[in-house]
Structure 1
Amino acid sequence: MKHNSIDERWSPTLSRRQLVAAAGGAVAGSLAGCVGDDDGDGRVAADDGATVVASFFTFYDFGRKVADGTPVTVENLVPTGLHGHGWDPDPSITRRIIDADAFITVGPGFQPWADRALRTVRDDDAGTSEINAREDIDLLGLAASLDPEEEGVGDSQGKDPHFWLDPHRAKAAVDNIVEGLVAVAPEHESTLRSNAEDVRAELDDIDDEWAEIFDSADRDVVFLAAHNAFQYVGERYGATIQPLVANLAAGNDVPPKARQRAQETIADYDIEYIGAAVFEPRQPARQLRDETDVTAYYPVTPYAGTTEEWVERGWGYVEIARNINMPTFEIVLGVDEPSTEFAENWRNFD
């Protein structure tokens, strides 16, 4: 499986950051160092090993788990509380990418700022290797209502980029990430590959748990007051996931036609509970609750970001699936009523 460096191959030479680290290591090599856990600010503590930065929370999470127990530092570039798709960072983020040994991305076309940063890295001949988490992953086509010249990714656009919501495809991203990390830290290959196997096993468990929820469902149509990010969930488990807006990126504007379609879907399928995106405006969900027979909305997230509380709890993709998305889908699919704690925390959340 190919993992592109900035010059389309893994460079055998050391980056500037690696040379600095090597020089520092010659001085401090006799000092004992410890590799720690996630320190809460999106970084995995390390000694003088390689630094890897990630453009998206999901792949930062996979990267930190694969790198656990090695001197590789994995950093999440997206600030806590922000959605990783629509974010537009300041120039300091590009500097962090230039100074890193590798940059985990979601592939070209998904995050324009990441594409621009990679061009800068090439122009500066910085030596930062790209680890494309999307490499060689089969993508679903866009909804027919979307313009492929305006939305989507892929060689000819027209593809839905949210593949990681399917745990099976997410495992392929882990494969891409471990290969990239092995390339920057080959002396830790055994640990990296062992950790990757553990992450893949976790994703297998998540896949089984999702399948059990959908197999137990009373309905096969779900409505989400969110952007169009859950097509892969519907395709994987044989359900219709109807988003409020068809666009692939989160936004504040909801066209009147989208609201009308939402009201018709809710009425046609006698929908009482809907999902609402954690990192998107809540007003559309409130309006649907007030204007239709919907009685409550509960949280969903495409694993595009994290909250301060989730950071404090050490939650990543797996924990967010089990504690946020799965309980909501059990409710909206008619599998189960919400627990008292979940309802208190998340029913019609602000």
Structure 2
Amino acid sequence: MLKAGAGALAFGGLAGCLSEPEGEAGDRTGYAAFFALWDWAEHVAGDEFSFENPVTTGEMGHGWEPDGDLAADIATTDAFIYLDTPEFSWAQDIAAQLETDYDDVAVIDGMDGLGSHLLPIDREVAAEPDYDYEFDPDSLEIGEFDVLDGRTGEVTAYWHVDHWHESIPDVPVGESVPIEGVFADPEGRVLPLGDDEQFQFDARLAEGAPEGVVEIESHGDHVELHGLEANRTLLVFELVHDGEVVWDTADEGMATDVVEELDDEEADEFVDPHVWVDPVLAQQVVDNIATGLGEVDPDNAELYEENAAAYTERLEAVDRQFEELVENASRDVAIFAGHDSYQYVEQRYGFELYTPVGISPDAAESFEDISGMVDLVEEYDIDTVLYDPFESPDPDEQLPSMVELLIEDSQVTDAEPLSPAEGTTHEWDEQDWGWVEQMEEVNLRSLRKALDVS
């Protein structure tokens, strides 16, 4: 049942009284919940669909609430694209009502299949590595080894002497799960891990373990487990130095289950919704849109797949630009005066953006938050800060008040926009900029300045 108020999008007596959607190829219409989804839907649909973005130019899509007419408008179209997360509760309400009363309107969840990639709102913080200590690989002893779910930072298993306690998360078929490791010597010093660090974290199949169940990909500081086939296999985790394994868990393999799908109770409702900011996760969202449109319009399903594949190449190019940016950056820390919308990007590429508030765009920074930002400016010798243009009264012209205070009260001399692509400005709209253009022309340029890319 649709709630009254902001989510108060009751269809009322409209059920059964609205005209049927046109349904003819080229005349099909739909709604996408906010800018990024709308932009992707337009690229995937080509000339076969016309999509509407209900969020007004200059407004932020996350935290936006519609008026009472939107639900009725959507019910007259062929498709509704949204994200099934409580952070877009108004869209969840409309989707639920459409599925109940208007089964001729396709409901497409852009987050479908992303469950194992979703990050919690409050991720646990791992122990800080001892970067200043010189570890000797030849005489190294491991006193503690913890395995963490890379999505939550939660310790899910730990190694004790020669055997395991607890377990690692299940891996869904066709999806992946990041696994992190924390190694400490007998004195409790934590080893630094990463492609550019002294040690790397890796894994392999245990001797005689079933093959073809999981694919293992090492990223230096974590491993990615890709589910290939529903089955159980055994893994051995490794600590690597200079290409050689210096320690492993070969005494006992870690049971690893690949499952067809996760149980409902395993899904965390309170997750960060900002998957659309990540160019890698965006590829799955685009694929979901293509699949959904193909089900509405089977005659053009192949066209939607082709359009999605072509657009995915552009997303992959953005992914490569982020990787190159980080490789050439002199800093790995910056200040972002906005809500915490870049968590997925930070985790994927290995830099950190300090924000004064959490993921909610409605959260207001306090005096203590601003004071803390000033302290961070001094601690990291920062002169360029980032800001969300949609958190200012006029995203084309004005800076958010917090940025103005930082410029007045600290050594900050410059502020650059960093858009979560939740909306568009009048200036960007006039230039016909979509998600890719916002990333390339705005965000990557701003991050290069903030992270001192040479």
The two structures share one fold, judged by TM-score above 0.5:
yes
CA contact (8 A) 2:85 2:273 kept: no
Residue 239 in 1 paired to residue 217 in 2? no
Tell me if 1:120 matches 2:97: yes
Alignment of structure 1 residues 67-106 onto 2, 5 Å: 67-68=45-46, 70-106=47-83
Preserved CA contact (<8 Å) 1:166 1:233? yes
> Which structure has the bigger radius of gyration?
2
| Residue type of the alignment partner of 2:34 | F
Q: CA deviation at 1:164?
A: 1.9
**Identity fraction in percent:** 30
Match of 2:313 among 180, 201, 209: 201
Give the Cα separation in 2 of the matches to 1:93 and 1:19.
16
Match of 1:258 in 2: 369
Aligned 8 A contact 1:141 1:159 in 2: yes
Q: Tell me which residue corresponds to 1:333.
A: 451
Q: Does 1:188 align with 2:300?
A: yes
Larger helix share, 1 or 2: 1
Letter in 1 for 2:360: A
Whether the 8 Å contact between 1:227 and 1:243 is mirrored in structure 2 is yes
Which one has the bigger strand percentage? Answer: 2
Measured on the aligned residues, the alpha-carbon RMSD in Å equals 2.3
For residue 198 of structure 1, what is the amino acid of its counterpart? A
Per the TM alignment, residue 19 of structure 1 is displaced from its structure 2 partner at its CA by 4.5
Whether the 8 Å contact between 1:85 and 1:250 is mirrored in structure 2 is: yes
Change (3 A) 1:16 1:74: farther
TM-score by length of 1: 0.78
C-alpha distance in 1 between matches for 2:342 and 2:97: 32
Matched, 1:133 2:134: no
* Equivalent AA in structure 1 for residue 62 of structure 2: H
* Deviation digits for residues 179-227 of structure 1 (CA, Å, limit 9, x no counterpart): 0010111111221111100111000100001111111101100110010
Structure-1 residue corresponding to 2:380: 269
Q: Judging changes above 3 Å, is the alpha-carbon distance between structure 1 residues 65 and 20 closer, same or farther for their aligned structure 2 residues?
A: closer
- After TM superposition, the structure 1 = structure 2 runs for residues 1-350 of structure 1, keeping only pairs within 5 Å, are 19=20, 21=22, 47-48=26-27, 50-68=28-46, 70-125=47-102, 127-137=104-114, 138-144=117-123, 155-245=267-357, 247-251=358-362, 253-281=364-392, 282-335=400-453
1 or 2 for the larger relative contact order (CA 8 Å, sep ≥6)? Answer: 1
Structure 2: 5+ residue runs without aligned partners?
1-15, 125-151, 153-265, 393-399
In terms of mean alpha carbon deviation, does 216-225 or 118-127 score higher? 118-127
SS in 2 for 1:241: strand
Normalising by structure 2, we get a TM-score of 0.61
How many angstroms apart in 1 are the aligned matches of 2:89 and 2:122? 21
Match of 1:38 in 2: none
CA apart distance, 1:121? 2.5
Partners of 2:335 and 2:386 within 8 A in 1: yes
* Change over 3 Å in CA distance of 1:202–1:182 after alignment to 2: same
Whole-Å Cα distance in 1 between the matches of residues 344 and 446 of structure 2? 17
Offset at residue 301 of structure 1 (A): 0.7
Counterpart residue type for residue 237 of structure 1? Y
CA apart distance, 1:161: 1.2
Contact 1:17 1:101 in 2 (8 A): no
Query: Could you tell me how far 1:165 is from its partner in structure 2?
Result: 1.7
Could you tell me which runs of 5 or more consecutive residues in structure 1 were left unpaired when the two chains were aligned.
1-14, 26-45, 149-153, 337-350
C-alpha separation between the residues in 1 aligned to 2:19 and 2:379?
A: 60
Measure, in 1, the Cα distance between the counterparts of 2:438 and 2:18.
34
